[in-house]
Amino acid sequence: MKNQIKVGDIVGRISHSSDLLFKVTEIVEDKEEPQAILRGIDVRLFADSPLNDLVKKSQAEINKMRQTFIKKNSECMRQIFERRIEDKSRNFFRGEKPLIGNQEWSEEYFEIPGSVLHLDGDKDYLDLCLTTYSQLNIPAQGFNIPEKEQPKVIIDYLKKYRPDILVLTGHDGLIKSQTDFQNIKNYRNSQSFIEAVHKAREYEPGRDDLIIFAGACQSHYEALINAGANFASSPQRILIHAFDPVFIVEKLAYSSIFDVITVQDIIANTITGTEGIGGIETRGRLRLGYPKSPY
């Protein structure tokens, strides 16, 4: 098995019944046995594994598992667009005249959703997220910044793009064999996310003026919230879906500034749910404009 696995291969872990797909990013020669450094394909997880615990996946196996990923994503997208129709009806009734049911009035309004700045330690995930933002009509700027570099550059990016919502993601995970969930040293990248959140809050303290999502798989949830994040992963130290941050952002970007949204309503948008994502009550960032220009 040692000679069959190489950097770039898509593999599963035999000891975990190949429940997840990983890409081999590095092979480290260890005195006892070589270790592979793994990056999750559909989950934001870094892991390490002995080479003899890995099995290379065929293209057919990869396609089958990817279909499950695509199906979950498509179902979330369908629910989002259905919810938006309901939300739009409710938002348009805020004025003095009932706008829905009166086509002439409703067509004169326009929407300005919250804008997003997304720093991601993984380029592949960032590209997927940016595509999904575009499909959801969310104005977004995204940059591939390694997790440990995010605290160093965050202020410059905030000053330049002045977003409504900041997303700090990448990969994380508990270091193998560690069981003390409170010790920040037992996490691969949580400390970097925490430092980046602290920096962002020095720039903008208001949690409704700058909404922050931070973290990845198994991140130190409590520390991220205490640092100033509105939403973070992972309360139960579980794996989170690659698109969970995007689905959180969508709900915030398309909820009215008049509404303080319950955590349950926001997290209902995600695939992972409350075991993977948590946060605090937060005001939406959608504004209605009037009148709509004919040009």
| pLDDT tens digits for range 10-33 | 998 998 888 888 889 888 887 678
Closest CA to 257 of 111, 145, 128: 111
Predicted confidence band at 89 (pLDDT cuts at 50, 70, 90)? Answer: low
Q: Is residue 94 part of a domain?
A: yes
Q: Is residue 295 part of a domain?
A: no
Q: Is residue 3 part of a domain?
A: no
In Å, the largest CA–CA distance within the chain is 75
| pLDDT tens digits for range 104-146 | 555 678 899 999 999 999 998 899 899 999 999 999 999 999 9
Residue-by-residue DSSP string for 210-272: SEEEE--TT--HHHHHHHT-SEES-TT----BTTHHHHHHHHHHTSBTT-EEPHHHHHTTSSS
pLDDT, greater one: 119 or 103:
119
| Number of domains within the chain | 2
User: What are the backbone dihedrals phi and psi of residue 12, each rounded to the nearest 5 degrees, phi first?
Assistant: -125, 160
Q: How far apart are the C-alpha atoms of 56 and 179, rounded to whole Å?
A: 29
Q: How far apart are the C-alpha atoms of 114 and 208, rounded to whole Å?
A: 11
Instruction: Give the structural domain span for 79.
Output: 70-289
List alpha helices for the chain, DSSP H. Answer: 59-92, 103-106, 123-135, 150-161, 190-203, 221-227, 244-253, 263-267
> How many residues are listed for the chain in this entry?
295
* 126 and 21 fall within a common domain: no
Residue bearing tokens 């938002």: 91
User: Residue 256 corresponds to which amino acid?
Assistant: S
* 165 and 115 fall within a common domain: yes
Contacts of 168 (CB under 8 A, 6+ apart): 119, 150, 154, 193, 196, 197, 200, 212, 213, 214, 215
Q: What is the pTM of this model?
A: 0.82
* 194 and 256 fall within a common domain: yes
Q: Is residue 53 part of a domain?
A: yes
Q: Is residue 200 part of a domain?
A: yes
Q: How far apart are the C-alpha atoms of 212 and 270, rounded to whole Å?
A: 16
* 36 and 75 fall within a common domain: no
For the beta carbon of residue 139, count every other beta carbon within 10 angstroms: 14
Please determine, for residue 253, whether its predicted confidence score (pLDDT) is greater than 50.
yes
Q: Are 12 and 57 in contact (CB under 8 A)?
A: yes
CATH of the domain at 93: 3.40.50.280
> Given this model, what pLDDT does residue 93 score?
56
Give the burial class of 43: count Cβ atoms within 10 A of its Cβ; 0-12 exposed, 13-18 middle, 19 or more buried.
buried
Q: How far apart are the C-alpha atoms of 275 and 188, rounded to whole Å?
A: 20
| pLDDT tens digits for range 212-247 | 999 998 999 999 999 999 999 999 998 888 889 999
CA neighbours closer than 13 Å in the CB half-sphere of residue 66? 10
* 224 and 91 fall within a common domain: yes
> Given this model, what pLDDT does residue 283 score?
95
> Given this model, what pLDDT does residue 90 score?
65
Q: Please measure the distance between the N-terminal and C-terminal CA atoms of the chain and give it in whole angstroms.
A: 64
pLDDT, greater one: 269 or 206:
206
Q: How far apart are the C-alpha atoms of 230 and 282, rounded to whole Å?
A: 7
> Given this model, what pLDDT does residue 92 score?
58
Predicted confidence band at 94 (pLDDT cuts at 50, 70, 90)? Answer: low
Q: Is residue 208 part of a domain?
A: yes
* 31 and 84 fall within a common domain: no
Angle at 239 between CA 132 and CA 174, to 5 degrees: 130
Closest CA to 218 of 235, 195, 193, 196: 235
* 82 and 107 fall within a common domain: yes
Q: Is residue 5 part of a domain?
A: no
Please determine, for residue 275, whether its predicted confidence score (pLDDT) is greater than 80.
yes
- State how far the alpha carbon of 34 is from the alpha carbons of 6, 14, 54, 60, in Å: 11, 16, 11, 27
* 187 and 245 fall within a common domain: yes
